[in-house]
Copies of this chain bind each other. A is one copy, B any other.
Amino acid sequence: MEDKNSNKQTRQQTTIADIAKLAGVSVSTVSRVLNNSTEVSKTTKKKILKLIKEYDYTPSELARGLVTKTSKTIGLLIPNLLNPYYVELIESIEKFVSSQGFSLFLCITDAKEEKEKYYINEMLRRRTNGLVMLSTNIKDHDLIKKVKKSMEIVSVEADIEDVDKISVTNEKGTYDVINHLIEYGHKDIAFIGYRFSLSGLQQRFTGYQRAMEEHSIPIRPEYVIEGEGTGNSGYTMTQRLLELPNPPTAIHCMNEHLAVGTYLAINEYGLRIPQDISVTAFDNLASSNILKPRLTTAAMPIREMGEAAADLLIRNILEGSKQVKQEIIFSTKLILRESTRRLDCP
């Protein structure tokens, strides 16, 4: 009765050789029914299948990967999970990827370079077949080149040299929303956001700038705030705006995660949307349905984008990637709802 409190050694799995011996055939035959490559006689096939079930035999993807040189595995590099945008993206990626028999390594980087490197190295070791990077900017191009030698890469939103990219018309989307506000008579339009350094997000700010410029509306520096990508930060930034001597008549949120905070702050100040202040954003998340009045926003097709990213990646894995950088840009659509109001005619 030694070792009664440890079952580590019981981890002995049945192998293809066991099944072969049991069936009185060679491993190759078993392998054949496993991958139904060549034809195997009905009777032996049936016998083998029965044994496989009986002994709960599960082929080792490790061993198989060693010879086929594929792990059917994809790494998902992502700064964090707290933005619902990420969640929608991940869920759509997961759905597609699993439908193709691939598995996902979850790599949360906290946007820390150190953690990014750790995980990339980990993927290299595990012979991951593909890498999808969400909102992560890798500046180290040598690293990218090294990674590209051993797996396919696709980036969502971040622009990286030689890396296929899925993105959305960030600039135009924001431009359209701001334009809408301006048409409604707004001039005091604030812009709150974060990580202006990330190419996709930067473009959103550019859209704001362009719309303002084209209408010769000077941008007041106190109306542009860069915080963090959390609802809390949206809340704080909005507070700062509302405390201003002359607060804006409209606030545009770089994304809807911030907008939740904006709504709550405005509520707390006893102001009404859109009567007292207009609010717009970017994303069109399912979870934003909760906001009342319903948010006017630049809608991006998040789930389609996630699926496109996964699709492109897997196709590249299976068929080999093109030498030229692929880029798929989705269009935003301005969705007018009830969170904005004309200034001139109340």
Contacts and interface: CB of A to CB of B under 8 A. Distances in A.
Nearest to A76: B106
A262 to B, nearest CB: 10
A289 B264 CA distance: 11
Nearest to A84: B82
A201 B104 CA distance: 29
A98 B120 CA distance: 12
A218 B199 CA distance: 58
A103 B10 CA distance: 23
Interface stretch (A181-189, A245-253, A295-303, A318-326): A318-326
A117 to B, nearest CB: 12
A292 interface: yes
Nearest to A80: B91
Contact of A98 (B98, B118, B230): B118
A69 interface: yes
Nearest to A322: B5
Interface stretch (A41-49, A123-131, A153-161, A163-171): A123-131
Interface in A2-47: 4-11, 13
Contacts of A264: 290-292
A304 interface: no
Q: Which residue, of A65, A66, A146, A290, has the highest number of chain B Cβ atoms within 10 A?
A: A290
Contacts of A222: none
A100 interface: no
What is the size category of the interface that chain A forms with chain B?
A: 35 or more
A232 interface: yes
A124 B121 CA distance: 24
A275 interface: no
A66 B76 contact: no
Q: Which residue, of A62, A103, A146, A323, has the highest number of chain B Cβ atoms within 10 A?
A: A62
B4 A60 contact: no
A106 B108 contact: no
B91 A81 contact: yes
Given A104-B105, A322-B5, A81 B87 contact: yes
B5 A232 contact: no
Given A58-B124, A62-B65, A84-B82, A260 B290 contact: yes
Contacts of A66: 60, 62-63, 66
A106 B87 contact: no
A284 to B, nearest CB: 15
Contacts of A149: 10-11, 56
A276 interface: no
Given A6-B321, A62-B65, A103-B126, 16 more contacts: A7-B321, A7-B323, A8-B320, A56-B149, A61-B125, A61-B127, A62-B62, A81-B90, A87-B87, A90-B108, A91-B108, A94-B108, A232-B287, A264-B291, A267-B267, A267-B292
Interface of A: 4-11, 13, 56, 58-63, 65-66, 69, 71, 73, 76, 80-82, 84, 87, 90-91, 94-95, 98, 103-108, 115, 118-119, 121-122, 124-127, 146, 149-150, 230-232, 235, 260-261, 264, 267-268, 287, 289-292, 319-324
